[in-house]
Each structure stands twice: as structure tokens, then as C-alpha cells.
Structure 1
């Protein structure tokens, strides 16, 4: 595996050339996919996280192959990724998640249909129906931590929940394909501390990503050793 950091070339940053390429979330998605498009039938074998709102846009990537770029807009630095993990290790983590769940529901024709639900909007709707007061920030924190906790065992980790912060809930909307179908993805940024409970499962989770919408910048968990 390779961990890569992609930043703007200095001249491109000054001239603003990158804005011709990156006009929205789907264009970011296309830029990243082009780095690994060595074959028309190639399946995605990478994860990424794009930070484009600050002064210096940056994209982090974890991939089975090193990205290949021959343009003059971006600079890419890559290094091998072979973490040595042990049970009980404490790690700081950052991850952008798409906190949804899939529910099977009956329709009028007595067929069962699978629907994806935004867990935060579901919780907000339930509280509104119950006429309960709540803080949106607290709701994002509570439901995002719950979503992570529900996936932690299979991911080989446990959360230090008092050291996890979730925020920045927002929706990305963009058009995809020739028919310009509108896609909407809810995302939350989570930072915190976790404990490795199964090194093999944890490494598998790091390489495969956590949750849905991996092709659109979600699911990449970045980690480093935590201060005890």
C-alpha cells in the first residue's frame, strides 16, 4: 500500500489553473480516479480525502498502487504504507464518514425494498415528531459516535468515546453521468482516539475503508500514535 499527499504546484496555485479542473465534488472525484486509471476496467483500489476549503488545497490518498500524474497542476508525494500494529495500541484518528444505514422496508406491492437512511436526519425527524428540544451539534456528535461504535468491532478497534469529536455535518450534491443524475451525500468529519483490538482486522479496515461513499472521499481513516 502507498500513502500519498497531493498538493497544488506553486505556479498553479498562483495562477488559479486548478480551479478549471476542480469545480465541484464530482470533478475532484474525477481528478483522483484519473491518477489510477491505467486500464478502462480497473476497479477502485484506493481511498482519498480532499481538503479544498482552506488556503492550500490538499488531498490524502491510500492506494494499492502509487498514483501516476503527468500534469503540471498538482504535486504528489508518496511513501510505502506498512504500519506495525499491536493489540492495545492507542491511535489518534481522523475520518470523514457518510453516516447512513440500510433498512429493508415493505412497499404497497408487498415487496421488500432496501433504502438508505441518513442516521442524523432520521434522529432529527424522530425528535421533531416527539416535540423534543435538541442541539444539532449534540445530535451530530451522538449519532456519529454511535455509527462508528457499531462498526468498531468488525473494524478491529474500540473508541475512546470521551476523546472523539464529530462535526461539520453537511451535504455534498453533484450531477453524475450523461443524464446528470443528482447525487446527495451527507458527510461528517470525526477526530479522536481509538484502541486497536484486533491488528489484522484493523489493518484490513484501514486498507478497505469504513462505510459507504468511498469513491467520493469518505472512509479513509488516517492514524498516528496517540499520546498516552
Structure 2
């Protein structure tokens, strides 16, 4: 597995057009890999992070990507490319009881019947911060971690960004309600957490959701 980071040049018109379309970003990510390569263990996951003065693409993939086309279209072709690192050393370090800072952009949803009489179910996006946070906290066990309490005796997680993505797919209107979570986790099942890191969390993985990333916890 590989972890890749790419910075967008937001001064370019092509970059702004690309960032406005989850479908275009999805296509650009998939074009970083040969169609014959196969995915192997894990899958291709990506996320766009908006920092104070930066817009970054984070990408986890079974194979090493070639982002030349993104550099030429939306980067700095003569000065900057991208950074790809082996993800396995971090995956191997994960152990029971460790604490990590985490970031996750997800598509929190509930599945229920369209009507009481209907036999068909449909996904409905959670739209409030409370709903989205509860969606995360009630599912962490199956992903191999728990969210410990912070100094105010509340779970140490916050929703740092919320967005409604609207686009067309195969002639149909699609709306995705996304939430970006940041917080602290404690590992309860290293194997399950490794699976979540390389396979993603929740739906809409093809549109920039589901990538969980870890960083060392900053101590005061």
C-alpha cells in the first residue's frame, strides 16, 4: 500500500474547475493507475483537504500512482510533483491501546424504507452535526477503535467541515452530505483498523469519502 500527497495550484483556472466536480476528481485519480494493474489488497481511496493556504489531495492505493497528468493540469509542472510513501511501515506499527490523532471525511447515512409499506430501502444522508457525530461514534467498534473522552468529558472528536455535494451520475441527480471529522482514537483491534485504513469507511468512496488518516497525538 502507498500513501500519496499532492498539492493543487489553486491559482489555475483548470484547478478550480477540477475541484468543483467530484466526478472529475474521481476520473483524475483513477487515471493515475493502469487499467490492467488490478487493485490487490485494499482499494483506491482519496480525500481533498482544504487547509489555510493549501488544497491537498491525499491518496491511499495498493499500487504507486503516476500523477503526471494532475501536475500538468492543476499543479506546478516545472517545480513540484507529488510525494508517495510506503504505507506498510505505519500499518505494521499499529498496536492495541495506541492513541492517534485522526482525520476522516465521510458520508454519514441511514438506511430505511422509502415508505412504511415499501419493501425497498434507501439511503438518507445525516445532515446535522449531532446526527453525523452519532453515526461515527456508534460504528467505531467495527473499525477497530474507540474515541476517548477529552478534557470536557465528551468524546474527543469534532466536525470540522460539512458539505453537500450535488452532481449528475448516469442522468440522475446525486446529493451527498459529507462531514469531515477530526479527533483522537484509541486502537481496540489493530487488524480491524488496518482494514479500515486500506478499504475505507462508509459509502461514497469513489467521491472522496472514506479515507481515514492518522497522525501522532500532539501532547500539551
Q: Same fold (TM over 0.5)?
A: yes
Give the whole-Å Cα distance in 1 for the aligned partners of 2:144 and 2:3.
20
Match of 2:35 among 38, 43, 66: 38
Match of 1:88 among 94, 97, 108: 97
Match of 1:191 among 167, 182, 185: 182
Bigger shift: residues 47-56 or 84-93: 47-56
- RMSD over aligned CA atoms reads 2.6
Unaligned runs of at least 5 residues, structure 1: 121-138
Give the whole-Å Cα distance in 2 for the aligned partners of 1:20 and 1:169.
20
Give the whole-Å Cα distance in 2 for the aligned partners of 1:169 and 1:185.
11
Unaligned runs of at least 5 residues, structure 2: 76-80
TM-superposed CA distance for 1:4, in Å, is 0.2
Aligned runs of 1:61-80 on 2, under 5 Å?
A: 61-71=59-69, 72-73=72-73, 74=75, 75-80=81-86
TM-superposed CA distance for 1:15, in Å, is 4.8
Flag the 1:91–1:40 CA change in 2: closer, same or farther, 3 A. closer
Q: Residues 107 and 113 of structure 1 are in contact (CA less than 8 Å); yes or no, is this contact kept in structure 2? A: no
TM-score by length of 2: 0.80
Does residue 164 of the first structure (1) align with residue 152 of the second (2)?
no
TM-superposed CA distance for 1:56, in Å, is 3.0
SS of corresponding position for 2:194: helix
Corresponding residue pairs, total: 202
TM-score by length of 1: 0.78
Q: Deviations over 1:177-219 (max 9, x none)?
A: 3x3x221100011100010001111111111111111110011
Give the whole-Å Cα distance in 2 for the aligned partners of 1:42 and 1:207.
11
Flag the 1:196–1:15 CA change in 2: closer, same or farther, 3 A. closer
TM-superposed CA distance for 1:105, in Å, is 5.4
Bigger shift: residues 205-214 or 53-62: 53-62
Aligned to 2:197: 206
Q: Which structure has the bigger radius of gyration?
A: 1
TM-superposed CA distance for 1:42, in Å, is 6.9
Aligned to 1:217: 208
Give the whole-Å Cα distance in 1 for the aligned partners of 2:12 and 2:115.
54
Match of 2:22 among 12, 22, 25: 25
Give the whole-Å Cα distance in 1 for the aligned partners of 2:138 and 2:175.
23
Flag the 1:150–1:205 CA change in 2: closer, same or farther, 3 A. same
Give the whole-Å Cα distance in 1 for the aligned partners of 2:59 and 2:146.
24
